[in-house]
Amino acid sequence: MSAPLADRMRPKTLDDVVGQSRWIGPDGPLRRAVDDGHVGSMVLWGPPGCGKTTLARVIAKASGFGFEQLSAVLSGVKDLRAVVERARQPSLTAQRTLLFVDEIHRWNKAQQDALLPHIEDGTLVLVGATTENPSFALNPALRSRLLLVRLEPLDAHDVRKLLDRALVDPRGLIDPPAVDEDVLKALATAAAGDARRALTDLERAAEAVPSGERLDIERLQRALQRSGLRHDRDGEDHHNVVSAWIKSMRGSDPDASLYWLARLVAAGEDPRFLCRRLMVFAAEDVGNADPRGLAVAVAAADAVDRIGMPEGRIPLAQACTFLACAPKSNAAYLAIDAALAEVKRTGALPVPLHLRNAPTQHMQEEGYGANYRYPHDHPYGVVAQQYRPSELAHVKWYEPKPWGEEKRIAERLAFWARKQDEG
């Protein structure tokens, strides 16, 4: 009972595990693999507190495997060799060995490669756990030998089940206080799918309640004294929320854009990062459909830098809503990528002679600048003239969209083309 509540309350069987029905429900692939005795190596990928360690332990027990655990933060190849040595000694155990490597993404390529022969010859059944996307965190050789099990955060209903269980289970809270309903709701919501966090918060808050008194919402807030949001600036949550924010602005939904921005601000995201994303978005997704967008984003970045937070949230919100409501065009973004691809394809084509400067007599004699036509000397400031290498004379990269300011740009370009043909 001296162990933390979250550790004491770990499920012992698959039936006790809450959530992850996709994998361990009646027809889930992990459930079938355990029932059929065909459990293979896998990587459990999911956010903190979703049950990765618990699943590894339960699978090992249900399959009759010996269980070994290493932390990739604290262990290396030497520790792996010791595990392999024990796994190869039938005199000590007749079971196969399941090796659970927590935070497996922390191992470098050489350390990950050291697992391969022991997986292939059946010495070990590997279960890795990671909060990082295995597509990037694991090297291809190892990843190709593992079943990818993507675990989801627990929903508030599932977390609530665990909290209720901790109040009545003999392994749960020691002498638990009476707990108000709104406390349990707040804990389940603030956990953001992290069962460990919910149970740890319950334990900490319960310990602060005098004997015989209730755990109410005020005592809970005093005991925790922190934000209720989980947000890892370098992890999956960060990238998912940022992605939702950008896609909401791109989809012209100002309310959704504000919600995701609020999530990032409330979690303490660096406002300079938020400003950079707004400036990129203004150029990439609004572009010349409303050229003011980039000016607004740059002004917001300057304002946030000058006034700081929390007031900086206001210019952030102004820029966010302006960009979400602006007409959208990625024409400039597509155009520069197409032009770069052309440069890569055709190389450094020579600059036409008439476009070159001729600061010396020799260069003039060589034809530099000859026959250049000065646009300001012609009606409407345009003149028929080739401004690119002859090999690319008829290629178009910039295609304005037929809405917003780009509609006017397209009309202007068409007008100029007509005037050039006339001249």
- Per residue in 130-161, pLDDT (tens digit) is 988 898 889 999 999 999 999 988 988 999 99
| Rounded average pLDDT over 53-61 | 94
Exposed/middle/buried for residue 112 (C-beta within 10 Å: 0-12, 13-18, 19+): buried
The pLDDT tens digits for 11-24 are 999 999 999 999 99
Summarised one tens digit per residue, pLDDT across range 235-248 is 556 788 999 999 99
Average pLDDT, the chain: 89
Query: In the predicted model, is pLDDT for residue 228 greater than 90?
Result: no
DSSP helix/strand/coil, 246: helix
> Side by side, which strands form the sheet with 66-71?
66-71, 97-102, 124-130, 42-45, 147-150
Q: What are phi and psi of 202, to 5 degrees?
A: -60, -45
**What does the pLDDT look like over 154-172, one tens digit per residue?**
988 999 999 999 999 999 9
Q: Which domains does the chain have, with CATH numbers?
A: 20-150 (3.40.50.300), 156-224 (1.10.8.60), 236-325 (1.20.272.10), 334-422 (1.10.3710.10)
Q: How far is CA 167 from the centre of its chain?
A: 35
Predicted confidence at residue 423, as pLDDT, reads 57
Q: Residue written as tokens 């959704």? A: 256
Residue 380 pLDDT: 86
pLDDT for 359-369, tens place per residue? 898 888 888 98
**Does the pLDDT at position 1 exceed 70?**
no
Average pLDDT over residues 44-61: 92
Q: Range with the lowest mean pLDDT among 214-223, 227-236, 257-266, 392-401?
A: 227-236
Distance CA 257, CA 276 (A): 16
Residue 233 predicted with pLDDT over 60: no
* Residue 34 pLDDT > 90: yes
Provide CB contacts within 8 A for 34, sequence distance 6+: 14, 59, 62, 63
**Cβ neighbours of residue 294 under 8 Å, at least 6 residues apart?**
279, 282, 283, 286
At 360, the amino acid letter reads T
The share of the chain scoring above pLDDT 70, in percent, equals: 96
d(CA 339, CA 58): 56
Angle between helix 156-168 and helix 195-207 axes, rounded to 10 deg: 40
| 63-103 pLDDT, tens digit each | 999 999 999 999 999 999 999 999 988 655 557 899 999 99
Residue 331 or residue 192, greater confidence: 331
Which of 273-277, 378-382, 392-396 has the highest average model confidence (pLDDT)?
273-277
For residue 231, pLDDT over 60 is answered with: no
pLDDT exceeds cutoff 80 at 230: no
Asked if residue 301 has pLDDT above 80, the reply is yes
Confidence band of 229 (pLDDT split at 50, 70, 90): very low
What is the structure's pLDDT at 247?
Answer: 95
119 — pLDDT class (breaks 50, 70, 90): very high
Residues 6+ away with beta carbon under 8 Å from 278: 297, 300, 301, 316, 319, 320, 323
Does 221 or 302 have the greater pLDDT score? Answer: 302
* pLDDT on residue 275: 95
pLDDT at 2: 74
d(CA 12, CA 184): 24
